[in-house]
Amino acid sequence: MKRTIENGIETFEAELDGERIVWDRGLTYADHLQTDPLLSAQVPMSGKHDEMLFIIMHQTMELWIKLQIHECKQAMAQIRADELPQASRTLDRIATIMQHMIHSWEVLATLSPSEFMTFRGYLGKASGFQSHQYRELEFRLGLKRPELITIHMDDPERTAALEEALAAPSLYDEMLYLLDRRGYEIPKEVIGRDLTKPYESDRTIENAWLEIYSNPQEHWELYALAEKVTSLEYYFQEWRFKHMKTVSRVIGHRHGTGGSAGVKYLVKALELRFFPELWSMRTRMEADKPEGGSHGGGHAEGCPV
């Protein structure tokens, strides 16, 4: 092994596994990633073997949610700056993260009901309902439900962070501001509304999206961005569905540890929307008329597949 001093730092060089490997006493892999505290953060309450899977599964979800919030803020800043190609790239990254999270439920689904019951009683009233990051992500995307901050009232720091996210423009708000800047008719009462209140669908905004989607070539930049945003909700809903099915597989229709109705509560969440008019306007879209007359037996509607 060779030792040298580079820029005042002791540096090492060695042939390892057929490669010339160098490292020093400066920043290490473990220092940069904080692997020691990260790998020490799993503290089972029960001592049962399968609790480790449950903990690591949820911790990794929290890490991915943290990254989604980080990227969502970036996408909003890019939309505010009219940097739409860059925003599209960021939205693609968020969608890919969500796809990874969808597949990760399959790991937790390997937990059988009998295995979960070995440690469920040790969890007390702790539940995913208490995830402040998940709530912040909902707020950042556009689903504002201020009453849900209540569960964090004993933690001033988390409460303050959620109140900031609640009062700030969401990703969907930034999309509406963008339409307003581009000359679309966006009601002033929508632009200037109280952002801490739940968003209510507006027919005028639905009309604006309908115009964009009915003529995508004329409005390609906005159309493409809207499809990226729609993909986020599509994957988010798939994540919610896989969550519901995993819970159903593991505990059936029992109530959650935090007192919710469990599967029934998760089913209700499938009806929640971040970008309502981007979905509702699709029902109003009309098919192009076939050249040379009607085809397909005269049926104007039907399943696209």
| Binding-site residues from annotation for heme | 243
Rg (CA), the chain: 24
Binding residues for substrate: 120, 257
Binding residues: 120, 243, 257
**Phi, psi torsion values for 4, nearest 5 degrees:** -140, 170
Using the structure block, give the residue that is written with the tokens 């519901």: 244
Q: Is 150 helix (H, G, I), strand (E, B) or coil?
A: helix
Number of C-beta neighbours around residue 248 at 10 A: 16
| The token pair that represents 222 in the structure block | 């906005």
Rounded Cα gap, residues 97 and 69, in angstroms: 11
Residue count of the chain, please give it.
305
Contact between 68 and 92 under an 8 Å Cβ cutoff? The reply is no
Best CA proximity match to 103, nearest among 154, 147, 148, 64: 64
Give me the torsion for CA of 147, 67, 98, 190, rounded to 10°: 50
Contact between 144 and 197 under an 8 Å Cβ cutoff? The reply is yes
Rounded Cα gap, residues 250 and 273, in angstroms: 27
Rounded Cα gap, residues 155 and 107, in angstroms: 31
Pairing outcome for strands 19-24 and 2-6 = unpaired
| The token pair that represents 33 in the structure block | 């990633």
